[in-house]
C-alpha cells in the first residue's frame, strides 16, 4: 500500500493515536493533521470520535477546515471513514444533550438507543447483521465481532445507506455508506483482527 496516504483528522475528541497505530500497521504514510495541504495530498481520510455529538461538532467547526474537507470528499471523491462519533456527525442532526446540527453528509438523525432491560451505554463486543455487500466488508461476515461504546445510534432517512446493523435490544446502525463516505459505529482500533481487516478494506478502496 505504498501509494496510499492517510490523513487522520484530529479535533481533540477521539482515539486518534489508536487509529493511527492501526492504520500504520497497513500503510507507511499515515499523518495526523488538519492542515489544508495534508488533507489535499491524502488519498484516504479518517474522522475518529469519542464523546457527545454537540461538543464534537463544536470542535469540528473550530478545528477542521470543512470547506477543504468537503471539496476533497465530494469533488475529489476520496474515501472517507467516520468512526463512532465521527460517523454520527455525518447526520443531519443529533439529539444528545439537546438538538445539534451535524455535517448533513448522510441524511438522518442520531437518536438514543432504545432499551428497556439493558443498560446504556452499549459497551462491548457485538457482531454484525450485514444487509448489503460492500467493499468495506470484504471477508467480513456475521461471525466477526467488533467493539462498541455508545448510547446513540444513526437512523438514516434512506434505508439503502445502511450496510450493516447490530442489535442491543434496539436495532443499531453499525455501518453506513453513501457513495465514497463510510461510517462505523464501532471502534476498529479496539476490534483486534476484525478491526484490522476492516481498516485494510478501507485502505483498498
Longest dimension (CA), the chain: 49
The pLDDT > 70 percentage for the chain reads 99
The reported pLDDT for the residue numbered 122 is 97
**How confident is the model at residue 15, as a pLDDT?**
83
In tens, the pLDDT along 138-167 reads 999 999 999 999 999 999 999 999 999 999
Catalytic residue of the set 44, 84, 122, 150: 84
User: Where along the chain do its domains lie?
Assistant: 5-203
Q: What is the 3-state secondary structure (H, E, C) of the chain?
A: CCCCEEEECCCCCCCHHHHHHHHHCCCCEEEECCCHHHHHHCCEEEECCCCCHHHHHHHHHHHCCHHHHHHHHHHCCCCEEEECHHHHCCCCEECCCCCEECCCCCCEEEEECCCCCCCCCEEEEEECEECCCCHHHCCCCCCCEEEEEECEEEEECCHHHEEEEEEECEEEEEEEEECCEEEECCEHHHCHHHHHHHHHHHHCC
Cell 463486543 maps to which residue?
Answer: 125
Task: Specify whether 7 is catalytic.
Answer: no
Is 144 catalytic? The answer is no
Is 187 a residue of the active site? yes
C-alpha cell at 103: 455535517
Per-residue pLDDT of the chain (205 residues; tens, 9 = 90+): 458 999 999 998 778 999 999 999 999 999 999 999 999 999 999 999 888 999 999 999 999 999 999 999 999 999 999 999 999 999 999 999 999 999 999 999 999 999 999 999 999 999 999 999 999 999 999 999 999 999 999 999 999 999 999 999 999 999 999 999 999 999 999 999 999 999 999 999 9
pLDDT of residue 13: 77
What was the pLDDT predicted at 1? 46
Buried b (16+ CB within 10 A) or exposed e, 90-113: bbbbbebeeebebbebbebbbbeb
Q: What is the pLDDT of residues 86-97, one digit of tens each?
A: 999 999 999 999
For the record, the C-alpha cell of 97 comes out as 444533550
Angle (nearest 5°) at CA 190 between 186 and 191 = 70
Q: Single out the catalytic residue among 44, 122, 150, 187.
A: 187
| CB distance 9 to 34 below 8 Å | yes
pLDDT for the residue 77: 98
CA distance 130 to 142: 7
Q: What CATH number does the domain located at 5-203 have? A: 3.40.50.880
Q: Output phi, psi for 189, to 5 deg.
A: -70, -15
Q: Say if residue 11 is preceded by a cis peptide, omega within 30 of 0.
A: no
Given the C-alpha cell 469533488, which residue does it identify? 75
Amino acid at each position: 500500500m505504498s501509494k496510499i496516504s492517510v490523513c487522520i483528522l484530529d479535533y481533540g475528541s477521539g482515539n486518534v493515536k489508536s487509529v493511527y497505530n492501526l492504520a500504520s500497521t497497513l500503510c507507511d504514510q499515515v499523518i495526523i493533521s488538519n492542515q489544508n495541504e495534508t488533507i489535499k495530498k491524502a488519498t484516504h481520510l479518517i474522522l475518529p470520535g469519542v464523546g457527545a455529538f454537540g461538543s464534537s461538532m463544536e470542535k469540528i467547526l473550530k478545528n477542521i477546515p470543512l470547506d477543504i474537507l468537503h471539496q476533497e470528499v465530494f469533488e475529489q471523491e476520496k474515501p472517507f471513514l467516520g468512526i463512532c462519533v465521527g460517523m454520527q456527525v455525518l447526520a443531519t442532526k443529533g439529539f444528545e444533550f439537546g438538538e445539534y446540527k451535524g455535517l448533513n453528509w448522510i441524511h438522518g438523525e442520531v437518536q438514543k438507543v432504545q432499551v428497556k432491560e439493558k443498560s446504556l451505554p452499549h459497551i462491548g463486543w457485538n457482531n454484525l447483521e450485514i444487509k448489503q455487500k460492500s467493499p468495506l466488508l470484504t471477508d467480513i461476515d456475521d461471525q466477526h465481532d467488533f467493539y462498541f461504546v455508545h448510547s446513540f445510534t444513526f437512523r438514516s432517512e434512506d434505508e439503502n445507506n445502511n450496510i450493516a446493523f447490530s442489535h442491543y435490544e434496539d436495532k443499531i446502525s453499525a455501518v453506513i455508506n453513501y457513495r465514497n463516505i463510510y461510517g462505523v459505529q464501532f471502534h476498529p482500533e479496539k476490534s483486534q483482527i476484525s478491526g484490522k481487516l476492516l481498516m485494510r478494506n478501507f485502505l483498498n478502496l
